[in-house]
Amino acid sequence: MSAARRPLMAGNWKMYKTRPETRVFFEAFVPLVEGIDDRDVLVCPSHVCLETAVAATGTTVAIGAQTMHFAEHGAFTGETAPGMLVELGVTHVVLGHSERRQYFAENDADLARKVRAAFDHGLVPVLCVGESLDEREAGRTEEKIGGQADAGLADVRPDELALMAVAYEPIWAIGTGRTATPEVAQETIAALRDRVRARFGDAADELRILYGGSVKPGNIDVLMAQPDIDGVLVGGASLDPEGFARIVRFVEPA
């Protein structure tokens, strides 16, 4: 973790928790993370729980959406426009999660439009990239995630990199219990930063790159000790207030 980049500790609830469960979570979670002022805390509930989450957190925890459309309005049944999220008090949006790419056919071209739309509406985009186990074993990790980053950042200006985040989530480590070793995560994220640097120059040093993939209280400290890991995107472990609070309150190396 670089001292120059403020850590972002994010939880992605996926399709879990009702509105009452959301209120109960934050009643327990917010007191556990109050007073933290050297890192950003983000929780991304389902769309139906966003308003409940915003009301339950105040300014202690940022609330993000798990996806959005790039259009301001239109005949897009089931979709949510950026302005609708802003109206709710949402500040961040996760874009291109591997599950969205796999199950809902999200593609790089549309994700580039979504990243641009997020910026244009004052939202912080968190762009996800990641490779499958077959791609890693074939030696195609850097090619795959580099290509996703190139495409997703196509309409981003260098001065905007510091205002967003990219989350590296190896697909083979999401919800499987398998975690990239800290060394593998660091090596891959460093290579990703180099790819961004090739296009954006020194502005790449301002970009926060997160790790996501079976992050738990037991491995957070060693992950956050890596120089290029600027935070985490946590799935299942973010559903438990005590466990996620421990992740947020990671212990920095001496």
pLDDT for the residue 169: 93
Q: The whole model's pTM is what?
A: 0.94
Which of 106, 131, 160, 169 does the annotation list as catalytic? 169
pLDDT at position 143, please? 93
User: How is residue 254 annotated by DSSP?
Assistant: -
Q: Residue 59: its pLDDT value, please? A: 82
Q: What pLDDT does residue 1 have? A: 60
State the CB neighbour count (10 A cutoff) for residue 20: 10
Distance, in Å, from the CA atom of 207 to the CA atom of 196, rounded to the nearest integer, reads 9
- What is residue 132's predicted lDDT score, i.e. its pLDDT? 87
Sequence-separated (6 or more) residues with CB below 8 Å from residue 183: none
3-state SS of 53-112? HHHHHCCCCEEEECCCCCCCCCCCCCCCCHHHHHHHCCCEEEECCHHHHHHHCCCHHHHH
21 labelled catalytic = no
pLDDT tens for the chain, 254 residues long, are 666 899 999 999 999 999 999 999 999 999 999 989 899 999 999 999 999 999 999 788 999 999 999 999 999 999 999 999 999 999 999 999 999 999 999 999 999 999 999 999 999 999 999 998 888 889 889 999 999 999 999 999 999 999 999 999 998 777 666 767 889 999 999 999 999 999 999 999 999 999 998 899 999 999 999 999 999 999 999 999 999 999 999 987 65
Instruction: Return the pLDDT at 119.
Output: 98
Residue 169 bears catalytic tag: yes
Catalytic residue from among 47, 92, 97, 99: 97
